[in-house]
Structure 1
Amino acid sequence: MDKVFTRFLEKFGGAIDRREVPLSSFDRYRGKLPNLLLEYWAEHGWCGYGDGIFWIVNPQEYEGVVASWTEGTKLQERDTYHLIARSAFGDLYLFGEKTGFSLNITSVLSRCVIDNFEITNEQMDRELQDFLLSMDVDTNDYGELFTPAMKKLGPLRHDEMYGFVPALMFGGPDTLDHLEKVKAVEHLTLLSQIAELQPYSFSDL
């Protein structure tokens, strides 16, 4: 295990709900995602960390989610994105084949952060290392609700997230009483259909 992933585990703790990665997935994403990420998949699988506050996921399962958020926007013209990680509350971390970790979507607010630059294949692994080193538990914890939600609703599985019902963009409150355990793909797709994705004021779209 390399130093970067060791540091990541020191921050988040051990894995939960691990799934082995099939050979077909390595073939599918080789050359599109960092080689180092595929090495992590081989060693660690797809799983959750920090008791499920952060998940490294199978991008293929989220292709429809990515399409729902990006189709018909300038993002679709800019790059081909793959969702490689997400938070328990639907923060989406996308890797662009040309631009690396250039798109972060806060799904509950229909907001995004975009970095407008391109990287070379040689820079992909460094991009992944920088991404993992930048991650911490607090930035994935919406309103410090993760621990209370886990106590009330139970731990998440790999295909689940904590979602506000009704959704915040429908005017629902962002309180524990309005959190439910929901299927991630279905809920993220629903959120993409409520409001148009908008960049944060400091971002560029």
Structure 2
Amino acid sequence: MRDEDFEVFIEEFGEASHSFAVPEDVIDRWRGRLPEQLLTYWKDEGWCSYAEGLLATVNPQEYQDLIATWLKGTVFEALDDYHVFARSAFGKLYACGIRTGASLTISCPVHAIIALANDVKPQSEDSVNGSVSAFFGAAMQSSFDIEDEDGEPMFRRAVEKFGPLDADEIFSFEPAIVFGGKMALENLQKVKLHQHLMILRQLAPPKVPFSDVDIDRLMP
């Protein structure tokens, strides 16, 4: 039975457009490395794509190289063992840690890591599980879309132009935003997620909300 937070999420996003059942042995391998609430969602829902690919829950194993590359050289390497559990149609990666919960966003389109200081400190088990429930319960479709320079959402127009995304695809801007590209529909293209985000990271390091001097304050 779905909990209240996930019921609210489904009301907002609709039932999954695609889903893949997560094998029990895979769930067991992640036990102790990811919050139990997330594993419960995997068991009940699987790994799914929602709202035509606007948001998808994913297999963290397939994103290990990506998150390691994007976090390399940042304070987050020492704060927790982060794993990607969801991604947006525009290449935002949402990461979860066993000590800090669903607390980290890697906004690849704009080369930024997003986190709040209080959220990346070690949390109680209840708070860690609650962060996962809250991620879904508070999710709005507009939060995962990207607006163009006129403030207009782009996802639906991108789907109309390029067709639905496959599981290994995202929409990305060319030229890249980090190089002065504009958030405009004519600058969007459909690309392979992993290859593109690896190349994008090589263009420049991400902006981070904390510096190295903050590490002692954030560590237990």
TM-score in same-fold range (> 0.5)? yes
CA distance in 2, matches of 1:156, 1:37: 24
Q: Which amino acid aligns with 2:64?
A: E
* Inter-partner Cα distance in structure 2 for 1:110 and 1:24: 35
Match of 1:204 in 2: 210
Indicate the percent of aligned positions where both proteins have the same amino acid.
Answer: 38
Which runs of structure 2 are paired with 1:9-88 in the superposition (5 Å)? 9-88=10-89
Contact 2:24 2:43 in 1 (8 A): no
For residues 44 and 176 of structure 2, the distance between their equivalents in structure 1, rounded to whole angstroms, comes to 37
Give the C-alpha shift of residue 173 in structure 1.
2.4
- Distance (whole Å) between structure 1 residues aligned to residue 56 and residue 101 of structure 2: 18
Aligned residue number for residue 128 of structure 1: 132
Distance 1:113 1:159 in 2: 23
CA shift for structure 1 position 24: 3.3
TM-score by length of 2: 0.86
Is residue 193 of structure 1 aligned with residue 214 of structure 2? no
CA distance in 2, matches of 1:36, 1:192: 31
Q: Displacement of 1:124 after TM fit?
A: 2.3
Query: Who wins on radius of gyration, i.e. which is larger?
Result: 2
Alpha-carbon offset, residue 161 of structure 1: 0.8
> SS of the residue aligned with 2:166?
coil
- For 1:179 and 1:142, the matched residues in 2 are separated by 11
Residue from 126, 135, 141 that aligns with 1:137: 141
Distance 1:105 1:138 in 2: 17
Question: 2-side partners of 1:45 and 1:11: how far apart?
Answer: 18
Q: In terms of mean alpha carbon deviation, does 163-172 or 51-60 score higher?
A: 163-172
Check the 8 A contact 1:68/1:193 in 2, yes or no: no
Q: Distance in 2 between matches of 1:148 and 1:89?
A: 13
Separation in 2, partners of 1:25, 1:197: 31
Tell me, yes or no, if the aligned pair for 1:16 and 1:51 is still in contact at 8 Å.
yes
- Is 1:154 aligned to 2:163, yes or no? yes
Asked whether 1:107 is paired with 2:108, we answer: yes
Note the C-alpha offset of 1:27: 2.0
Q: How far apart, CA to CA, are the structure 1 residues paired with 2:29 and 2:10? A: 27
Q: How many residues align?
A: 202
* Runs (5+) with no aligned partner, structure 2: 148-152, 212-220
Q: Name the structure 1 match of 2:180.
A: 171
**Secondary structure of the corresponding residue to residue 170 of structure 2:** strand
How far does residue 60 in structure 1 lie from its aligned partner after superposition?
A: 0.6
- The one-character-per-residue Cα deviations of 1:104-157 (angstroms, maximum 9, x if unpaired) are 111111112223321122332211111112211111111111000000100112
